[in-house]
Amino acid sequence: MKTWTIPDLIDLEYFLSRDEEQDDSSAVKRDRRIYLLAIEPRIPPEEAGTGGFRRRAVQIWLEERRKLYHKQQGRDAALPGEVFSEARSVLAVIIGILGLFAGAGAAFSLLVYTGEEPVNVSIYLGVLVFLQILGLLMMARFLFLKTSLNAVRKYSLVYTLMSRLLERMAVRLARSAMATISGGKRAEAGEISGTVRSMYGVYGQVLFWPVFSLVQLFGVLFNVGAVGATLIRVMTADLAFGWQSTLQMSPESVHTLVRVLAAPWSWLLGEYAYPGLAQIEGSRIVLKEGIASLPTESLISWWPFLVAAVVFYGLLPRLVFLGVSLAGKRRSLARLDFMHASCERLMMRMQSPTVSTQGLPGSAGLSETPRVEAKVEFEPFPLKHTDAAVLVPEDIYRRCDRTDLEQHLKSLLGWGFAYLFPIAGELTEDRSSIDAAVQTHSANGGATVLIQEAWQPPIIEIIRVIRELRARGGKEMRIAVLLIGKPDAATIFTPVKHVDKDIWSKVLSSLGDPYLRVVAVGER
């Protein structure tokens, strides 16, 4: 199995978002067939309970969905992942060119020599070395923090601009790619921007690294341009270098400073690693005296030191950070567990039994599979076991039958039942129940379910309760809103009208919570 990539994640979220808008029964039949005919034969039974099963199952599902998509839309139909990959390549080329010209331009501007006043070494080092060292120190903090794209966008202007530019370019290229598809499909291009933005909550740590690597690419090419421009000027012009300072630094102090700076490469360049004390004394600029009396060998002794300083303090650290960004991206991709709400719904669809087991149209692997007899019995599916703490409104708390509740949790969410807590629907009164649900159970690998009557529209207080659950349980704790219809004399678990669920789904989707699910009892 190949490893996951960012374009894979974008395509995955694109297909999952499309499934949210189509008839649920057709999605269940399709995904069940994919599992029976493509996933189950390719994953050995002994691996069903391992941690990597879900990753592989979702990846195979994505492969089959791509085949079906290209079968329906044509081989030339562009998927958002392909668009993102193209946009990223174009952006990388643009950033590389900008970095190269920026570095060369900065070096050329600092190496202007008219024959009267030599190039000021202090300014060259200050702009191309010391400022870069400061920038690298500020950037190094990202390597010691649990970074995500959302967090970085709050504290770094550079990364904010880069992430927005990357997103906008992906959307524009998507619209261009979709222009070749039928008019009805062109409207889907507008959904790509929302799909990319919604990924920040789940894949923020993964999406940080491409932006980080583009910044390092700019830095690498900037330093390549600066070094190249310096060497070109040295080889094609008669340059003189000198130093001066209003602080009245002695030549001995300057010699100590350059010797310390040259420590990383002094073993490589030997006597050319940095100017000696005599050369430093001979290149000191006193404006009123001019440079006529300064020895030529002292005035030209600085350039190897300057080039080496840019290489060792500018270029090499950027190359290291670029390598770190690639390793960080691979590591963050390997840590994905696909436990967010959209993937939970996908796993439930594949878990649902179906009487149709024919091959999936458009999939070579599936179409070649012989037809098998219809199966109606439930086949156990290796979902990660989760027990839920359930919050129930006080007016129906005593009527909530535990057995019925557990059956609905299993059938709709694939979760078990652990605790039941009453709530009043007012945040100030419900804090104790919320704390109990989170602290005693949900924060330790479980989940929280909030039961609500769907015929009553979601009010602000319920939204506040959900936000408080998220704040107390952490950003990755799974939360589900279980909608029920109007309770009758027999049970509170009555069917929910489709229009009522749609209202709740639209309101709660505005929260942008990728680990929040909305399910309904017997939707009709």
Q: pTM value?
A: 0.75
pLDDT digits (tens, 9 = 90+) for 104-160: 999 999 998 776 778 888 899 999 999 999 888 877 766 655 554 455 555 555 555
**Average pLDDT over all residues of the chain:** 79
Please report, as a single letter, which amino acid is at residue 112: V
Residue ranges, the chain, pLDDT below 50? 148-149, 174, 177-178, 180-191, 194, 355-365, 367-383, 443, 524
CA atoms within 13 A on the CB side of 192: 29
State the DSSP string of 324-391.
HHHHHHHHHHHT----SHHHHHHHHHHHS--S--PPPTT-HHHHTSPP-----S-----PPP-EEEEE
Cα–Cα dist 123/128, whole Å: 8
Q: Do 165 and 221 touch, CB atoms closer than 8 A?
A: no
Domains, the chain, ordered by start: 1-114+146-237+336-380 (no CATH), 387-520 (3.40.50)
pLDDT of residue 117: 78
Cα–Cα dist 80/84, whole Å: 6
For β-strands 241-242 and 387-393, DSSP reports them as unpaired
Query: What is the dihedral angle through the alpha carbons of 219, 224, 226, 228, rounded to the nearest 10 degrees?
Result: -170
Q: Which residues pair with 119 in a beta bridge?
A: 241
CB atoms within 10 A of CB 499: 9
SS3 call for 41: helix
For β-strands 241-242 and 516-520, DSSP reports them as unpaired
Task: For helices 24-34 and 53-73, give the axis angle rounded to 10 degrees.
Answer: 110
At residue 195, what are phi and psi to the nearest 5 degrees? -65, -45
Q: Which residues pair with 419 in a beta bridge?
A: 389
Cα–Cα dist 378/483, whole Å: 24
Cα–Cα dist 514/124, whole Å: 49
At residue 48, what are phi and psi to the nearest 5 degrees? -60, -35
